[in-house]
């Protein structure tokens, strides 16, 4: 066992060190090898070391260098070494982190991590939280608490009775809500399409004046950090309107919520604490390994009512909460350990520095590409930059060429009818030098492409 785990650690270290020099996207040759995994189930046992060798020799070169410093696709983020190391150790512990009495250390660590997160993100200290797989499930979890409360207010117990015959819930969303938010609504029986959509401005922010008159059970889903522009809905104003009418306000802040930790960006999240629930990712901007998201609900009892199972064989009264009373899952890994490790390592200042640095890098991209004559399509308020290189064909050709050249990796998107390349700077590993190298490569490629 020792030999296997040590050689695997050595492989992982070699892989990570190799990311600085290699192309970000895997090459055709490497991708050509992956069908080697596609074999029939063997009858016989194979030496464990050979299994790891195969994963490393075939899998590693065919991976996208998302853990490296120059991956700017989607909103991804790498893994802080301390978070990766904590993941390794906690995985070795193999704790089924459902119940305090059975796995006290991981239950307590998650409790502390939650308290620190509420402090760092400037959210109400009495809130309950759930460590889940990502923002999709965090939205689902928080909105389940919302569903519980707005129906309880009209005398309906949704956990017991379901939605058959229940009073209808009006769900209000911005036209630019993240696609996964609609999926979460679908999973909750609230419907992906039966929502009321509110119009948005040029940055994808909900126009609060377009929110319809609220009557009856209502949930308003707002967004902190549009996945294209980084824009924030006017959440403070929306909370005022909603709370006047007894509606619930949820915030999808998968990456945007982290703006609260950075002094120069905190203005973006000023009144977000007035909402009722929040969803965010730790695997994006906190740079912990997948999969790690967080649902936060001001009314802890509502979250518990939506998520707890009370079977008699499960111990209930404990000095620290049972994580499984707050999550969709019963058995689950102790993903809060990595979050704790990242926060314990970075401290308040380190988190702020990480967020500030990514925003600074994004601004440099926008300035340099703008100076070179290319159109920046968004107000760069956070870590997201949208750039057009001309007509859609040219922009798409440039994106493909950048991905093939391999210095960095950026994806494409369509923003309000314009084809654009999206640059998201979300990794601790990205340095000034990486930004220089990436800008040089992008400009070299775009000039060559538009010749």
Ligand X SMILES: *Cc1c(COP(=O)(O)O)cnc(C)c1O
Binding site for ligand X (CB under 6 A): 75, 134-136, 178, 180, 223, 225, 227, 252, 254-255, 281, 293
Q: Kindly tell me which of 99 and 220 has the beta carbon lying closer to ligand X.
A: 220
Q: Kindly tell me which of 148 and 178 has the beta carbon lying closer to ligand X.
A: 178
Q: Kindly tell me which of 286 and 306 has the beta carbon lying closer to ligand X.
A: 286
Q: How far is the CB of 67 from ligand X (least distance, A)?
A: 16
Q: Is the dihedral of CA 21, 24, 29, 30 positive or negative?
A: positive
- At a CB cut-off of 8 Å and minimum separation 6, what does 210 contact? 198, 199
Residue nearest to ligand X (CB): 134
- At a CB cut-off of 8 Å and minimum separation 6, what does 319 contact? 100
Q: What percent of the residues of the chain are helix, what percent strand, and what percent coil, each to the nearest 5?
A: 45, 15, 40
List, in sequence order, every residue forming a beta bridge with 248; answer none if it has no partner: 219
How far is 217 from 193, CA to CA, in rounded Å? 17
Q: Kindly tell me which of 83 and 151 has the beta carbon lying closer to ligand X.
A: 83
Q: Kindly tell me which of 133 and 170 has the beta carbon lying closer to ligand X.
A: 133
Q: How far is the CB of 383 from ligand X (least distance, A)?
A: 11
Q: How far is the CB of 200 from ligand X (least distance, A)?
A: 14
Q: How far is the CB of 22 from ligand X (least distance, A)?
A: 25
H or E stretch covering 433: helix 432-449
Q: Kindly tell me which of 254 and 425 has the beta carbon lying closer to ligand X.
A: 254
Q: How far is the CB of 83 from ligand X (least distance, A)?
A: 16
Determine the distance from the C-alpha atom of residue 16 to the mean position of all C-alpha atoms in its chain, rounded to a whole number. Answer: 22
H or E stretch covering 221: strand 218-223
Q: Are 189 and 168 in contact (CB under 8 A)?
A: no
Structure token digits, residue 94: 């193999």
Q: How far is the CB of 289 from ligand X (least distance, A)?
A: 13
Q: Kindly tell me which of 75 and 351 has the beta carbon lying closer to ligand X.
A: 75
Q: How far is the CB of 233 from ligand X (least distance, A)?
A: 11
Torsion angle of C-alpha atoms 165, 196, 293, 188, degrees rounded to 10: 20
């Amino acid at each position: 066992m020792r030999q296997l785990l040590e050689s695997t650690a050595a492989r992982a270290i070699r892989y990570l060190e190799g990311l600085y020099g290699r192309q970000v996207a895997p090459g055709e040759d490497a991708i050509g090898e992956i069908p080697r995994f596609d074999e029939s189930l063997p009858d016989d046992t194979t030496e464990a070391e050979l299994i790891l060798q195969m994963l490393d020799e075939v899998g590693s070169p065919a991976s996208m260098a998302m853990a490296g410093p120059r991956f700017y696709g989607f909103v991804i983020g790498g893994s802080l070494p301390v978070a990766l190391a904590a993941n390794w150790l906690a995985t070795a512990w193999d704790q089924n982190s459902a119940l305090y009495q059975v796995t006290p250390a991981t239950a307590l660590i998650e409790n502390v991590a939650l308290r620190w997160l509420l402090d760092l993100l400037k959210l109400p200290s009495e809130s309950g939280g759930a460590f889940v797989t990502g923002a999709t499930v965090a939205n689902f979890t928080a909105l389940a608490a919302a569903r519980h409360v707005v129906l309880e207010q009209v005398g309906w117990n949704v956990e017991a009775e379901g939605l058959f015959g229940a009073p209808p819930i009006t769900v209000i969303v911005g036209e630019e809500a993240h696609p996964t938010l609609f999926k979460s609504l679908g999973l909750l029986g609230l419907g992906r399409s039966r929502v009321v959509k509110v119009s948005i401005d040029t940055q994808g922010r909900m126009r609060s004046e377009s929110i319809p008159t609220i009557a009856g059970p209502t949930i308003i889903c707002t967004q902190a950090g549009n996945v294209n522009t980084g824009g924030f809905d006017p959440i403070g104003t929306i909370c005022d309107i909603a709370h006047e009418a007894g509606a619930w306000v949820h915030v999808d802040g998968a990456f945007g919520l982290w703006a609260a930790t950075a002094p120069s960006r905190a203005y973006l999240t000023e009144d977000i604490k007035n909402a009722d629930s929040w969803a965010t990712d730790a695997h994006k901007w906190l740079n912990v390994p997948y999969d790690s998201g967080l649902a936060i609900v001001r009314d802890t009892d509502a979250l518990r009512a939506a998520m707890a199972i009370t079977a008699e064989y499960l111990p209930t009264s404990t000095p620290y909460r049972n994580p499984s009373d707050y999550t969709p899952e019963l058995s689950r890994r102790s993903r809060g350990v990595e979050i704790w490790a990242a926060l314990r390592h970075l401290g308040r200042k380190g988190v702020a520095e990480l967020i500030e640095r990514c925003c600074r890098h994004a601004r440099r991209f926008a300035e340099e590409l703008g100076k070179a004559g290319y159109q920046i399509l968004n107000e760069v308020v956070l870590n997201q930059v949208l750039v057009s290189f001309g007509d859609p064909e040219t922009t798409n050709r440039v994106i493909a060429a950048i991905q093939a050249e391999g210095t960095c990796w950026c994806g494409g998107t369509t923003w309000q009818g314009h084809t654009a390349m999206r640059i998201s700077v979300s990794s601790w590993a990205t340095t000034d030098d990486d930004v220089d190298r990436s800008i040089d490569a992008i400009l070299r490629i775009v000039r060559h492409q538009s010749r």
